[in-house]
């Protein structure tokens, strides 16, 4: 892979071309982004699901523009907008206290370390992706904590039950829920095991929170003690939040940062959260996504292409039968201007109106037409399903298996 010449030290996650160079997008509006050539792409990535309302949403733009003039508070200190956003989050997600941060990664780290300090217990049992943070890297030895006291159980309930055998050492179980590969019953079982052991549950809903409903997607099935949300709460602006009991989050009182009161971010969040609270954006996303999926599944079947689709209109993932087909699938999608989050979850925005979905359907049909060499190949195997789930959740898909099978799949996927 050839890196694009740049002064940027990081190698950020973003859409890239076949040579690994970031694609340059010079404008964005609604469901579309345009590259330097003027070619318009339909955006299924949406800043990894953050742009829930669509690009350049007028109500967000107006609020941010007003705040940027200085008539809606100041970055120097407190403004009424802080209380508005806190009250909105409390109404949506609950909790005695709510903490504000600039990224989901920061919010998750702060929340779990606060709970660990409050409980006085050393271990954090984790499953899922919790951000760009070495704190969460697996130790390399199954069921052994890493240097930060984190033990990954990879969404395997058998491993979790084994780890909860010494609950006096466990500060919390940290779950990043994935509704494409996990059932409500899986979340309920986690809640049961943790309640039985007297262990705190932290829901890292950075990705899924507020996208499925006006509130936590796991409020009833996981009933978390502490929650974290980010994407969807400010339509791509840099804000995240954590909430829960005051006693568990009391260490957060020492947290602050220079941009804490930045008015444009608070303005964007206040508008986005007001819209989210109605449930209308989530319904629009779900309906547009479901319509697209009905067409996509039929187009794939008509073309005899072995590609399954996990999830629903809110969040979905393509599961090709082979890595060769997967490569060709995304290459064809790029050629037709369907900007998919490659090998991960797809997230439409509320800007996907009838015209956009029709456009997307027509482009997807042409994608399938480009893949005739794969017609009749397959079928999609368990290995492909495990690989797809691993790509999106850093863990094992929900299915029946014993401890030996768990170890075998982990060895295989961790080695890839």
pLDDT of residue 5: 63
Backbone phi and psi for residue 47, each to the nearest 5 degrees, phi listed first: 50, 50
CB 365 within 8 A of CB 299: yes
Helix residue ranges per DSSP H, 175-279:
184-197, 246-249, 263-278
In tens digits, the chain (416 residues) has pLDDT values of: 445 568 999 999 999 998 889 999 999 999 999 999 999 999 999 999 999 999 999 999 999 999 999 999 999 999 999 999 999 999 999 999 999 999 999 999 999 999 999 999 999 999 999 999 999 999 999 999 999 999 999 999 999 999 999 999 999 999 999 999 999 999 999 999 999 999 999 999 999 999 999 999 999 999 999 999 999 899 999 999 999 999 999 999 999 999 999 999 999 999 999 999 999 999 999 999 999 999 999 999 999 999 999 999 999 999 999 999 999 999 999 999 999 999 999 999 999 999 999 999 999 999 999 999 999 998 999 999 999 999 999 999 999 999 999 999 999 999 88
What residues are paired with 22 via a beta bridge? 16
- Could you tell me if 164 and 156 are in contact, meaning their C-beta atoms sit under 8 angstroms apart? no
Dump strand ranges (E) for 135-239: 150-152, 170-175, 200-205, 226-229
pLDDT of residue 217: 97
CA–CA distance, 334 with 367 (Å, rounded to integer) = 9
Count the neighbouring beta carbons within 10 Å of the beta carbon of residue 195: 11
CA–CA separation, 276 vs 211, rounded Å? 8
Query: Domains of the chain (ranges plus CATH)?
Result: 25-56+280-406 (3.90.1150.10), 58-278 (3.40.640.10)
Nearest to 274 by CA among 1, 89, 25: 89
pLDDT value for 6: 83
DSSP state of 42: E
Q: How far is residue 318's CA from residue 140's CA, in Å, rounded to a whole number?
A: 29
């Amino acid at each position: 892979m050839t890196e694009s010449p740049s002064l940027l030290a990081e190698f950020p996650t973003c859409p890239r071309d076949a040579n690994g160079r970031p694609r340059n997008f010079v404008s964005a509006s609604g469901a579309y982004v345009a590259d330097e050539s003027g070619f318009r792409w339909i955006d299924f990535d949406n800043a990894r699901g953050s742009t829930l309302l669509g690009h350049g949403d007028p109500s967000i733009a107006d609020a941010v523009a007003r705040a940027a003039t200085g008539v809606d508070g100041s970055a120097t200190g407190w403004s009424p907008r802080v209380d508005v956003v806190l009250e909105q989050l409390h109404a949506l997600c609950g909790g005695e206290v709510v903490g504000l941060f600039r990224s989901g990664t920061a919010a998750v780290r702060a929340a779990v370390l606060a709970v660990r300090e409050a409980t006085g217990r050393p271990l954090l049992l984790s499953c899922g992706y919790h951000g760009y943070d070495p704190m969460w890297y697996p130790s390399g030895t199954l069921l052994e904590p890493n240097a930060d006291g984190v033990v990954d159980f990879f969404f395997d309930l058998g491993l979790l039950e084994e780890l909860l055998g010494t609950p006096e050492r466990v500060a919390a179980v940290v779950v990043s829920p994935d509704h494409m590969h996990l059932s409500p019953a899986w979340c309920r079982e986690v809640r049961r095991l943790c309640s039985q052991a007297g262990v705190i549950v932290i829901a890292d809903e950075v990705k899924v929170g507020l996208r499925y409903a006006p509130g936590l997607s796991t409020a009833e099935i996981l009933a978390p003690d502490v929650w974290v949300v980010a994407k969807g709460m400010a339509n791509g602006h840099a804000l995240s939040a954590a909430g829960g009991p005051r006693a568990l989050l009391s260490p957060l009182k020492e947290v602050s940062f220079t941009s804490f009161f930045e008015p444009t971010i608070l303005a964007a969040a206040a508008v986005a959260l007001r819209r989210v609270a109605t449930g209308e954006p989530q319904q629009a996303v779900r309906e547009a996504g479901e319509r697209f999926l009905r067409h996509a599944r039929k187009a794939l079947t008509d073309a005899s292409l072995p590609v399954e689709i996990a999830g629903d209109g809110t969040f979905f993932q393509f599961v090709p039968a082979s890595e060769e087909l997967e490569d060709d699938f995304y290459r064809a999608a790029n050629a037709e201007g369907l900007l998919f989050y490659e090998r991960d979850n797809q997230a439409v925005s509320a800007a996907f109106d009838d015209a956009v979905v029709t456009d997307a359907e027509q482009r997807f049909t042409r994608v399938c037409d480009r893949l005739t060499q794969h017609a009749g190949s397959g079928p999609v195997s368990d290995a492909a399903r495990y690989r797809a789930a691993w790509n999106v959740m850093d863990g094992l898909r929900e299915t029946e298996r014993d401890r030996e099978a768990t170890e075998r799949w982990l060895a295989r996927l961790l080695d890839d």
